[in-house]
Amino acid sequence: MVKSVFVTGGTVGSGLAIAERFAQEGYGVMITSRSGERAEAAARKVAEKYGVHAKGYALDIRDEQRVKDIFADIDKNGCFVETVCLNSADLGFGTAPAVGMPFFEVPVEEFERVFETNLVWNFTIVRQAAIRMREHHKGAIVFIGSNTSYRAIPNRSAYCASKGGINAMSKAFAVDLGPYGIRSNVVLPGTIKTQRWVEMGNKQIVNGELTPIGDISDFEDIANAAWYLGSDQSKNVTGTEVTVDGGMTCQLYPQILNDLKRAAQK
């Protein structure tokens, strides 16, 4: 059996970095995306770069049978998904990232969709993976959550609440699946240097000026945390979260506020 990692939303950004981090360690790599072509292209890139078995799958929400079919295909190819990294998510900002979804205006259907994607969809994937992990008495579930599960941001109530739900669901999985040798943990990123963040330029809301460490996360920072939680390096760690946000959430307020206040008083 080829020891493998299953990464949702693994075609770009943190997801691709996670796939590559595990490939570096010799894992087979299964990548999903709503676009089958993008998933297959990313898998080819990983396979060619690291010399591992890799395969891409089209996967959308609301289709549990598709999840079952994908894991059956993985079985057929002689692979065992020892680690599941649930990176894909609905960001819960509707159609306008700068505006978000205002509390008094957000359609209930939009709110429901965020929860369906971030919680229900992930549950269906975890269950299929756990069926196989149970047979091997070994496995790791890694959710890519968000520090907004503890520190809310404006006009993103569905997103923040769903990410808080992931933390709770992961703890429940740790309890339910622990007897079968299966661990469940969450990576809590802060702001990441995505292409969209870069393109915002001076309109960026969060950057290194706001964090104690003076920087925000690269994709590799998230991938390294996922590798730790998804590998035997954390074999006695379950039901917890690892925050990767440059210290953003550990502070009462950013130091720059003091600096701005002093400057205004001069």
Helix (H/G/I), strand (E/B), else coil: 209: helix
Nearest to 184 by CA among 166, 197, 204: 166
**Owner of token pair 């997801």:** 15
Q: Give me the catalytic one of 27, 50, 57, 159.
A: 159
* 205-231 CB burial, b ≥16 within 10 A, e <16: ebbeebbeeeebbebebbbbbbbbbbb
Nearest to 102 by CA among 171, 153, 27, 172: 153
For the CA atoms of 219, 224, 226, 229, the dihedral, rounded to the nearest 10 degrees, stands at: -160
Give the sheet arrangement for strand 79-86, strand by strand.
54-58, 28-33, 2-8, 79-86, 139-144, 182-189, 241-244
Q: Would residue 253 show up in a list of annotated catalytic residues for this protein?
A: no
Nearest to 54 by CA among 18, 89, 87, 14: 18
The amino acid that residue 236 corresponds to is: N
Kindly list the catalytic residues.
159
